[in-house]
Amino acid sequence: MKRASYFFIIAFIIGLALHQAWCCDVPVFRYALERWPADNFMILLCHSGELTPEQKEVADSLQKASFDETGFNFEMQRLDVAAIDKADLKLTVDGAEPPALPYLVIRYPRIINGGTVLETGPLTMDYVRSLVDSPVRRDIARLILEGNTAVWVFLDSGDPSKDDAAFEQVQAQIEKLKNTVRLPDSSDVTEADTIELNDPQNTLRIDFSCIRVSRDDPKERFLVEQLLCSEGDLKEYPEPMLFPIFGRGRILYALVGAGITEDNMLEAAQFITGPCTCIIKDDNPGVDLLMSINWDNALETLMVQDRAMPLPFGLYEVVADASQDASQISDISKDVDLYSIDSPKKNKSLFRNLFIGAIVVLIINTIFLVTLIRRKRN
């Protein structure tokens, strides 16, 4: 066994322990909506010298719609190509000739493919409007804000018979998912959880919608481009595709052609509705859409709230509640109730501590065995 395999095993064990110990009752889709800011695209305005009044008007309108002004998830920079060294600055799609100046370069967020170029386009008002907004993107945002768990975007292949059959299958499966997928069980919440769901009116629900998009729809040209570029090889497949979108416009991944199955849709839905493990957004699958919406302002109700950190292991039993009256602390009957071995809180804490302690021992033993094997081989 190679050394890398040992580290993989150790990492897997640690990840499993953390997942079991820190899962909570907040589903991924709700945590993503409230706590995962959409990644910012970069739009570069490449020009040489001064812009005409018409061009300046378009550039100013784009600047006003950028993240600094509105909170939309793109940033804009002006780039005078005559005043910079372009040798190390990629300003076109691979293999493409740059358009006539001035033109716009749309780059992925830096976290995706190192911020490579998505496409280039002219500095016109029509192009800018199609770039930052479209009817389907507005519908996606509206449905998510209305409480939809996720929006499934079905992208036609162009073959009507193939597309119609696949779309009918998707609609039938979505109806099944509404009745089979469940929210995380609040009974699994432990004292180690750092967040919890605050939904006293029980408004959070499982609900899915589906939107069908044609690849030839001129109003959705840039949306189609983003969908097809969300993974490296999607443009190679002339097949119908399905994209589950959740949170702040995050594409989980693509289901393509024969891969649009009940099992694959269920797997995607279970991830989106599963318990959040409070890990970093970038450690999760998916890429964000460029959308003209300020999610922070649009969210009317926040359900995810932070919890007070628990006491270090073993101190719960010896530290009394600071707000408890001194006479209550001295009351033997209350002391017995608080520290009794039958106390549910203590049992849960004890079980959690034993579980994590066992995992720690297992990790230490694994590291010891790895070290011993390596010494013997040497």
Give per-residue pLDDT as tens, 275-295.
877 667 878 889 999 999 999
181 burial type by CB count under 10 A (0-12 exposed, 13-18 middle, 19+ buried):
middle
Please say if the pLDDT value at position 346 is more than 60: no
Please say if the pLDDT value at position 189 is more than 80: no
Q: Is it true that the peptide bond before 240 is cis, omega within 30 degrees of 0? A: no
3-state secondary structure of 45: strand
**DSSP codes joined into one string, 204-273:** ----EEEEEE-TT-GGGHHHHHHHHTSSTTGGG--S-EEEEEETTTEE---EEGGG--HHHHHHHHHHHH
Q: How far is residue 115's CA from residue 97's CA, in Å, rounded to a whole number? A: 19
Q: How many CB atoms lie within 10 A of CB 78?
A: 12
Q: How many CB atoms lie within 10 A of CB 55?
A: 16
- Cα torsion angle, 271, 273, 278, 281, sign: positive
pLDDT at 323: 44
Give the pLDDT band of residue 312 (cuts 50, 70, 90): low
Q: What are phi and psi of 306, to 5 degrees?
A: -80, 150
- Mean pLDDT within 171-181: 95
**DSSP codes joined into one string, 125-153:** HHHHHHHH--HHHHHHHHHHHTT-SEEEE
230 burial type by CB count under 10 A (0-12 exposed, 13-18 middle, 19+ buried):
buried
pLDDT in tens, 201-251: 778 999 999 999 999 999 999 999 999 999 989 999 999 999 999 999 999
HSE of 371, CA atoms in CB hemisphere, 13 A: 6
- Mean pLDDT within 298-317: 69
Give the pLDDT band of residue 355 (cuts 50, 70, 90): low
- The answer to whether the CB of 111 falls within 8 A of the CB of 39 is yes
Please say if the pLDDT value at position 158 is more than 80: yes
pLDDT at 281: 80
pLDDT at 358: 65
Q: How many CB atoms lie within 10 A of CB 370?
A: 17
More confident residue, 44 or 318: 44
Q: How far is residue 316's CA from residue 329's CA, in Å, rounded to a whole number? A: 15
- Mean pLDDT within 252-272: 97
HSE of 169, CA atoms in CB hemisphere, 13 A: 19
- The answer to whether the CB of 72 falls within 8 A of the CB of 65 is yes
Q: Using a CB cutoff of 8 Å and minimum separation of 24, what contacts does 233-238 make?
A: 238/157, 238/158, 238/159
Share of the chain above pLDDT 70, in %: 69
Q: How far is residue 219's CA from residue 147's CA, in Å, rounded to a whole number? A: 26
